[in-house]
Amino acid sequence: MIFVVIFVFGSVLLASVWRWFVQPMRPSLRVLMYHKLHPSRQDALTLTPKQFEDQLVWLKETNYRFVRLAEVLATADAQENTFSDGRRAVLLTFDDGFLSNLTWAYPILVKHQVPAVFFLPTAFLGKSSSWELQNAEAILTSAQLKTMSPLLIEFGLHSHQHLNYGKLTTAQIRDDLSACIQTLHAAQVPFVPVFAYPFGGRPKSSKKTEELYGVFRELGIKMAFRIGNRINYWPLADRFQTQRLDIRGTESMEDFKQKVRHGKLF
């Protein structure tokens, strides 16, 4: 009996030491995933501008360091163990290129000089997010994309038709992703060759995953971002499965802090 108690107590102690002391010391990258801002609506995809700004202020005050994609890619390429400036790297990402990101998020990013990546579903530029069942919103035009400072806002790929890549053939994925890249070239919108999976959808089998990675390499994609609610540790296990923390307008500031610190809510 005494051995069981010692074993259980020891396991709990070790898990706590790992979570609170060892894990936070590891070189890491937190990628935050946002969608929309709206002054009077909060839901899973939507934060108020105040919520968003409060989060940025807390990240700054807590000495998290905002990084750009270029730095993330350089670190991944070098397979270095850490960023030059410690372990508290944070990359902000916004999916879908909503007009509300320019209207509400961009002024706050400029005010605090915080960089972010916008992932663009290119067939919808200048249209609306018609794939959404409710609260479909206007999506930025290529002219509006170019009004933002390239020092702060980088653009990445979010497929052409906002399709779930878990449900497409490899040939369909190649066609869609090629169209996405060609659209940005044609519109002369500069972009970083990184991809965010729409709906977080990825192939399930290892064969299709390898085929997808082949398409990524063929088209020059350097990194891909999924949803996962985990912190990434260096060196990355799989650069095409970089995890993001999904930031919800329905969660409190305390929830946000816990997600950033631990990658998930307990």
Would you tell me which residues interact with Zn ion (CB under 5 A)? 95-96, 198
Residue 129 beta carbon to Zn ion: minimum distance, rounded to whole angstroms = 8
Q: How far is the CB of 26 from Zn ion (least distance, A)?
A: 30
Query: CA torsion, points 111, 137, 124, 158, in degrees to nearest 10?
Result: 60
Which residue, 95 or 176, has its beta carbon nearer to Zn ion? 95
Q: Name which of 120 and 212 has its Cβ closer to Zn ion.
A: 120
Smallest gap from Cβ 121 to Zn ion, in A, equals 6
143 CB neighbour count, 10 Å cutoff: 11
In the complex, what is the shortest distance from the CB of residue 65 to Zn ion, in angstroms, rounded to a whole number? 26
Nearer to Zn ion among residue 115 and residue 198 (C-beta)? 198
Q: Which is nearer to Zn ion, 131 or 233 (CB)?
A: 131
The residue (of 198 and 228) whose beta carbon lies closer to Zn ion is: 198
Name the closest residue to Zn ion (Cβ): 95
Closest separation between CB of residue 196 and Zn ion, Å? Answer: 7
Q: What is the C-alpha separation between 116 and 118, in angstroms, rounded?
A: 7
Helix/strand/coil for 161: coil
The answer to whether 191 and 155 have CB atoms below 8 angstroms apart is yes
Three-state DSSP string of 192-252: CCEEECHHHCCCCCHHHHHHHHHHHHHCCCCEEEEECCCCEECCCCCHHHEEEEECCCCCC
Q: Determine contact, residues 162/124, Cβ cutoff 8 Å.
A: yes
